[in-house]
Amino acid sequence: MNGIKNLLALVVVTGIIISCSKNKVEGQLLSKWKLIEQLADPGDGSGVFTPVDSDKTIEFLCNDDVISNGPLCTMSTETGSVGKGKYDASAKIIVPDNCNSPEYQLAYSINDSVLILYYPCIEGCGQKFRLIEGAVRP
């Protein structure tokens, strides 16, 4: 009986590894990022990214899942809650779970080791993250 359980566990792990490898080949993001700066424009276009003291992270996982140790529905530096959603690497959007609107989306851009999330604000706003784990493939 233990042999069957071990074989089943091996099959499941192999499937996950193959799925993750396939995503890497197709250019998916499999990486973890730490929040370093935030932009909240006052309404006159003069806003700039300023450093923040936060342990907030966001991670792009297999199967187009994204997870954060803080909220994804609001531009917050807080941690302690779990934010989840799905990402579309070709459209460069994240669709968080459980926001007030089913159409709520975050746009993102990646340049070198910097990820910027753009929140749907009236004035310019966003969060800048630094790559801490993994690799980014175009």
Considering only CA atoms, which of 74, 68, 63, 59 is closest in space to residue 106? Answer: 74
Quick check: is 14 in a domain?
no
90-119 b/e (C-beta count within 10 Å ≥ 16 → b): eeeebbbeebeeeebbbebebeeeebbbbb
Q: Identify whether the C-beta of residue 77 lies closer than 8 Å to the C-beta of residue 34.
A: no
Q: Identify whether the C-beta of residue 67 lies closer than 8 Å to the C-beta of residue 83.
A: yes
Which comes out higher in pLDDT, residue 26 or 59? 59
Give the domain range for residue 72.
29-135
User: CA dist 85 to 46, 68, 95, 121, 128, Å?
Assistant: 31, 9, 6, 19, 18
**pLDDT score of 101 more than 50:** yes
Number of domains in the chain: 1
Quick check: is 62 in a domain?
yes
Q: Which helix (H) or strand (E) holds 131?
A: strand 125-135
Quick check: is 16 in a domain?
no
Quick check: is 63 in a domain?
yes
Q: What is the CATH number of the domain that holds 125?
A: 2.40.128.280
Quick check: is 110 in a domain?
yes
**pLDDT score of 121 more than 70:** yes
> Is this prediction's pTM over 0.85?
no
Tell me: the pLDDT tens digits for 48-93?
A: 999 999 999 999 999 999 999 999 999 999 999 999 999 999 999 9
Quick check: is 12 in a domain?
no
